[in-house]
Structure 1
Amino acid sequence: MFNFIGRFRQRLRYLDLSLNASRSVRIRVVERPGLWMDAAQLDAMLAEMRGIVQRGIGKDLDYGVLSGDPERLRRAVITLLYDRESGRPIAFNALSIMPVELRGRPVEAIHLGLVMVDPGYRTQGLSWVLYGLTCILLFFRRGLRPIWISNVTQVPAIIGKVAEVFVTAYPNPFEPSRRSFEHLNVAREIMKSHRHVFGVDRTAGFDEARFVITDAYTGGSDNLKKTFDQAPKHRDERANDLCRRDLDYQRGDDFLQIACLDLASARKYLLREVPRDSLPAILYQIAFLAVGRIVLPLFHWLNPREPMGDLRARKRQ
C-alpha cells in the first residue's frame, strides 16, 4: 500500500493532461515521460511521433526525443494532438527542459523543439496549441515565475508565429525588441551546452549580433534543411524579409530566437491566440494548476494551527 501511495504521489508531480482543442481535435500534454512512463508506453508514444514525421517529411529524424534517448525523454514535455473521431495522432511538439545559468543562478529554459503536423491537417488552425499552450501550462504550473523560451528554425512562418506569441522574442520581425544581456546570456548557455537538443553539431558557428546559427544542419537535423522557396512563408512579409536577408539557406543557417514568457505574454496569448470556444477548457486546467501551485500552498502557510511538515518546499537533489 505504501509503495502504491509513493508511486501515486510521484506520478502527480508531472503533467499528464488531456483536453479538447476543438470538436475535432484532442490534446494530450505529457511532462517528463522518461521519469514515470513504462517502456511500453514510451515506445507507443515514440511510434506515434515517428509516424507523424514520416507522413510530414517522408523521412526519419534521429535527434532529441525522437532518438529514444532516455535522458532526452526525462527532460521532455510532449504535446500530442489526435483526431477525435479516428483517434489518429496528427501533430506533436516536443519541448525540452534545459538547465542554464542566469545572473549566477541555475534556471530552466524551455526549447520549443520539433513541431510536426500531418499534411492533411496543416490548415486546421492548430498553431496556437503547438507554439504556446504547453508553455502557458508550465508557466502556471511553476507559480507564474517567468520562463525563458528558445526556438531554432529557418522557416519564416515559424519565426513570425513565435514572435507573435512571445512579444519579448529576439530576433523579432514585428517589434523593435532589444537584445538584452539576459537574451545573450541564455543564448550563450544554450549554444555551449545544449546543441544536441535541436540537432546542431559543435562545428556550427553562432553570430551573437544577429542570433544566427551558421551551417546548422550537421548534427541530426539534416533532413529538415530547406531552401528559402521551400520554407513555408508567414502572412506578414516582414518575417519573410528578415529570413531572406539574414539567413544563408544554401549553407544552412538558422535563427536562435530567445524570449521570456511572463504574465503579460501569458495574458496576450490567452486573449488573442486561443480560440474563444477552446478558452473555457484551457482556463479550467489553468485554474487547477494555480490551485495546486499558488492557492493551496498559501492557504497552508497562513494556517498557524498545523505544522508545515511535508508541505515545505523540497530541496533540489
Structure 2
Amino acid sequence: MSGLVRALFQSELDLTLATGAQFETRIVERPGKWMSQEDLAALSEDLITVASKTLARGSLTYGVFSGDPERLKSTIITLVRRKDTGQPVAFNALALMDITTMAEPMEVLHLGLVMVDPDQQSRGLSWVLYGLTCILLLFRNQMRPLWVSNVTQVPAIVGMVAETFDDVFPTPQRPKQRSLQHLLLARTIMADHRHVFGVGPDAGFDEDRFVITNAYTGGSDDLKKTFNEAPQHRNEIYNAFCQDMLDYDRGDDVLQLGQIDLATAVGYLKNSVPRASLASVGVTLIAIMLQRLILPLIHWFDNSRQFGTLRPRKDRL
C-alpha cells in the first residue's frame, strides 16, 4: 500500500504489485530519467538473468541490452519475480516512441521484447507481460486511446495483438485495409525508430503488407526463428497468415499497428486478468487515476514554478 501512496506523487510509474500467489511484478517507467547508476545496473542485470535462460549472454545488443542509459529514458520495464526467492523470471521492455510527423505530436507504445524463464512458462504470466502495463498507461492517459506497435515473426504474438487491441493492421481478417494514419505512422517508425526493435538500416519495408524484409541485422540477430521454431497460435488462421506473409529463411517480420482504448481495457479486465488478481489491479488503477487529479492540484497551488501556460507569481516591490 505504501508503494501505491508514493505513486500518487511520482511523475513516472514505479509500482510493485502482487500478480498471483507465487509472483510479484514491478513496473518501472523511464528509469533512465531518475534511477541511480547503481539501480540501473541492478535492473539491467535482472533482465540479463532472464535473457540468459533462453539466449547466450550478450547475444542481444539493442534496446535495454545495449548498455545505453539514454535508451532507458524512453523505456517501461515490467519485471516479474518469484515471491519466495526474489528471482527474476520474466520481463517485458516496452518502448515509448515520440512521433512528431503527424498533425499533432503523439506517443506510440511499442510492445517490445518479452522473455520468460523456460522453467516458468505456462504459469499464467501472459496477462501480466502483454497487457497490464498497457492498461495502466491508458488509465494514466485519462482513457484517451493510445497507439501501439508490434514487430514480430511469431504467430502466437501476431494473434495475441490482433485479438487484444483495436483497429489492428495487418491481421488475417484485414490483410490489405490499412488507413492513411496506419501508413503515416509506419513510415515514421521505420524512418526514425528502427533501433527500438533491432532492425538495421539495410532492412526493407513493404508498405502494402507492412512486412519488414531482412529484419534481423540490427542487433536482434539471435531472435531469428524458423517457422517451426516460432510458437504457434491456437487459432490456425494466424499460423497460416504468418507462413504466407513472411519469408522465414530471409528473416522477415510483420509490423502491426493498433490502438488500446476503453473497450480494449474492459475486455482485458474481464477476460484476461485472473479473478484472484482483480483486486490488486483495481486498486492500482484507482491510484493511477487519483494521481492524474492530485498532481495537477499540487502543481496548481505551487506558485513558485511555471505550470503549462500559468506563470509563477512575482512578489510586488
User: TM-score surpassing 0.5?
Assistant: yes
The aligned counterpart of 1:5 is none
Residue in structure 2 matched with residue 165 of structure 1 by the alignment: 164
Q: Could you tell me whether the CA contact under 8 Å between 1:165 and 1:273 is conserved in 2?
A: no
Which residue number in structure 2 is paired with residue 151 of structure 1? 150
Residue number among 47, 50, 57 corresponding to 1:49 in the alignment: 47
1:299 & 1:78 partners in 2: Cα distance? Answer: 28
Q: Equivalences for 1:1-317 in 2 at 5 Å?
A: 12-59=10-57, 60-101=59-100, 103-173=102-172, 178-293=177-292, 295-296=293-294, 309=303, 313-314=307-308
Change (3 A) 1:239 1:101: same
Q: Structure 1 residues 63 and 176 mapped into 2: Cα distance closer, same or farther (>3 Å)?
A: closer
* 2:94 aligned partner, one-letter code: L
User: How far apart, in 1, do the equivalents of 2:296 and 2:193 lie?
Assistant: 36
Change (3 A) 1:123 1:186: same
Distance, in Å, in 2 between the alignment partners of 1:300 and 1:201 is 45
- Deviation (angstroms), 1:184: 1.4
Q: How big is the shift at 1:299?
A: 7.9
Aligned CA RMSD, in angstroms, stands at 2.4
1:124 and 1:299 map into 2 onto residues whose CA distance is 42
Number of equivalent positions? 303
Mapped partners of 1:86, 1:102: distance in 2 = 46
Superposition deviation, residue 55 in structure 1: 0.3
1:223-270 Cα distance to aligned partner (Å, 9 max, x none): 000000111101110110110000000000000011111111111111
The gaps in structure 2 that reach 5 residues or longer are 1-5, 310-317
The SS at the match of 1:162 is helix
Q: TM-score, normalised by structure 2?
A: 0.89
* 1:270-296 Cα shifts (integer Å, max 9, x gaps): 111111111111111001111121x44
The separation in 2 between residues aligned to 1:177 and 1:291, in whole angstroms, is: 41
Partner-residue secondary structure (3-state), 1:164: helix
Percent sequence identity over aligned pairs: 49
Identify the range of structure 1 (183-192 vs 217-226) with the bigger mean alpha-carbon deviation.
183-192
Q: Deviations over 1:152-178 (max 9, x none)?
A: 100011111112221322112356894
Gaps of 5+ in 1: 1-7
Q: What does residue 3 of structure 1 align with?
A: none
2:313 corresponds in structure 1 to none
Q: Contact (CA 8 Å) 1:169, 1:260: kept in 2 or not?
A: yes
In the alignment, the residues of structure 1 paired with residue 175 and residue 203 of structure 2 have an alpha-carbon distance, to the nearest angstrom, of 28
Query: Do the aligned partners of residues 9 and 258 (structure 1) sit closer, same or farther apart at CA in structure 2, a change above 3 Å counting?
Result: closer
Write out per-residue CA displacement over residues 38-89 of structure 1, whole angstroms, 9 at most, x where no aligned residue. Answer: 0110011101101111102335211001112121111100000001111100
Residue aligned with 2:123, SS: coil
Letter in 1 for 2:251: G
Secondary structure of 1:289 counterpart: helix
| SS class of match (1:12) | coil
Q: Which amino acid aligns with 1:96?
A: A
Structure-1 separation of matches of 2:165 and 2:307: 30
Deviates more, 1:99-108 or 1:191-200: 99-108
CA 1:11/1:31 → structure 2, altered by over 3 Å: closer, same or farther? farther
Cα 1:90–1:298, aligned 2, differ >3 Å: closer, same or farther? closer
